[in-house]
Structure 1
């Protein structure tokens, strides 16, 4: 999947969730709430990696490592959009800077 397709699909999904949040809470989540939701999922990625390596109990099987990594990418795309950051440009610039740093 191309980054721009990821961004467009993520925007549509986030807009649909905003509608559910309005029904539930009377307003959509703020960008700060989105960031906290991302951090929760990022923490779960850590726990799932630990479980996969045998250093954390694996009792909860309600979601998998690949699912939570993908969800974290979705959150990052949504947060970039909410903050007017072009994800393709940001990733290109970041990778270029790291490559130059390591040369």
Structure 2
């Protein structure tokens, strides 16, 4: 994936989040705070783990394939959203992590 494509993924992710904020205001009177976003992300991360267990035949669940694919994408979306809300450049964060890790495991 090129940087340009990642920029588009970030743009689309943040646009979707804005729409969800509108629904939160409509249904609850206010937007979720960052901590609520983090809790939603952790919930979805747990669902990734549960669906991986099903995929590996370690948890009895039928029809996990579509949900696993969806939740993997959703987890990336949440990380983009959380980084943005905390003024962290996700592209720089990923690049820094990769560079540091590459040096560690030469």
Work out whether 1:54 is the aligned partner of 2:57.
yes
Q: Give structure 2 stretches of 5+ with no counterpart.
A: none
Q: Give structure 1 stretches of 5+ with no counterpart.
A: none
Work out whether 1:26 is the aligned partner of 2:29.
yes
Alpha-carbon offset, residue 22 of structure 1: 0.2
For residues 90 and 8 of structure 2, the distance between their equivalents in structure 1, rounded to whole angstroms, comes to 11
Alpha-carbon offset, residue 58 of structure 1: 0.6
Work out whether 1:86 is the aligned partner of 2:76.
no
Indicate the structure whose relative CO is greater, using CA pairs within 8 Å and at least 6 residues apart.
1
User: Which of 13, 16, 41 in structure 2 is aligned with 1:13?
Assistant: 16
**Deviation readout 1:3-56 (Å, 9 max, x if unpaired):** 211111111000000000000000000100000000000000000000001010
Work out whether 1:66 is the aligned partner of 2:87.
no
For residues 34 and 63 of structure 2, the distance between their equivalents in structure 1, rounded to whole angstroms, comes to 28
Whether contact under 8 Å (1:3, 1:87) holds in the other structure is no
Name the SS for the 1:64 alignment partner: helix
Runs of 4+ in 1 over 3 A off after TM superposition: none
Task: Calculate the TM-score normalised by the size of structure 2.
Answer: 0.91
Work out whether 1:37 is the aligned partner of 2:18.
no
Task: Calculate the TM-score normalised by the size of structure 1.
Answer: 0.94
For residues 29 and 90 of structure 2, the distance between their equivalents in structure 1, rounded to whole angstroms, comes to 30
